[in-house]
Amino acid sequence: MTSQLPPVLLVGCGRMGSAMLSGWRRRGLTPSVAVDPAPQAARHAGPDLRVVGSETEIPAGFTPEAVVLAVKPQNAAETLPDYAGYAGLSVFLSIMAGRTIGGIQAALGSDAAIVRAMPNTPAAIHQAITVACASPAVSKAQRGLCTDLLSAIGAVEWVEDESLLDPVTAVSGSGPAYVFLLAELLEQAARDQGIPADLARVLARRTVAGSGALLAASEEDAAALRQAVTSPGGTTAAALQVLMADEAWPAAMRGAIAAATRRSRELAG
């Protein structure tokens, strides 16, 4: 990794854009520019970042090495053409869910070097997992820069097959919601069994968080860790007999991932 990140143009300072900005600042950011019309975006301004309300306010002569597209996917059609002038000069790093490299290139021009990436919300604490795919126009140096930008918020993996980003979106992009739902349901089930609400909340949150930390720290497969908790004929086995029935969690998770994958493809269409 480089010691300091080069100038970046960040388009969109929403939740994910601001999380990325926080990670870049930890690394060290050469004076850069962010574009976001929302009044609250101004709070991100500092010696290393000028925040402007539109692309027309970008300082003359500012040439970023990367243009990071962190706008909502539904705003892409009207927003992206404003940045076509950077094609051939900068690499475009898109974190817009569902927007394909081909669709982005159609808005920016054939000279655009594009990396499509899917991070997830643990980026807020620099614990994201991001999967990225580069267009043929992306150079080795530009790919390295995008790795630096994305690794500032967590781990990065690359794929050559862009179609994999749809199931990736379903698994890791949407995945934090599934984990939060588990905590939510665990808390409610604890309350149903008579555990006081405050204690139920602590038990659910700490169990999910602690188990995730153990999984991250362990070299064992998730299945092995599950089996280590499960004594034959015990309480865990009784619970898993319900959860692992064919029509329960296995079917629900397969159906959920399939539904999210289909929706990702629909958004691209």
Domain boundary among 103, 137, 162: 162
State which residues form the domain around 244: 175-268
**Tokens, residue 242:** 């319900």
Residue 1 has pLDDT above 50, yes or no: no
pLDDT band at 230 (very low <50, low <70, confident <90, very high): very high
pLDDT band at 256 (very low <50, low <70, confident <90, very high): very high
118 lies in the same domain as 179 = no
Question: How confident is the model over 89-106, as a mean pLDDT?
Answer: 94
Question: How confident is the model over 92-107, as a mean pLDDT?
Answer: 93
pLDDT > 90: what percent of the chain? 92
- Average pLDDT, whole number, for the chain? 95
What CATH number does residue 73 fall under? 3.40.50.720
pLDDT band at 97 (very low <50, low <70, confident <90, very high): confident
Residue 170 lies inside a defined structural domain of this protein: no
192 lies in the same domain as 253 = yes
151 lies in the same domain as 243 = no
Question: How confident is the model over 119-142, as a mean pLDDT?
Answer: 97
Residue 167 lies inside a defined structural domain of this protein: no
CB 19 within 8 A of CB 125: no
**Tokens, residue 164:** 């994999």
| pLDDT tens digits, 22-65 | 999 999 999 999 999 999 999 999 999 999 999 999 999 999 99
CB 150 within 8 A of CB 156: yes
53 lies in the same domain as 106 = yes
The domain total for the chain is 2
- Work out the burial of residue 6: count CB atoms within 10 Å of its CB; fewer than 13 is exposed, 13-18 middle, 19 or more buried: middle
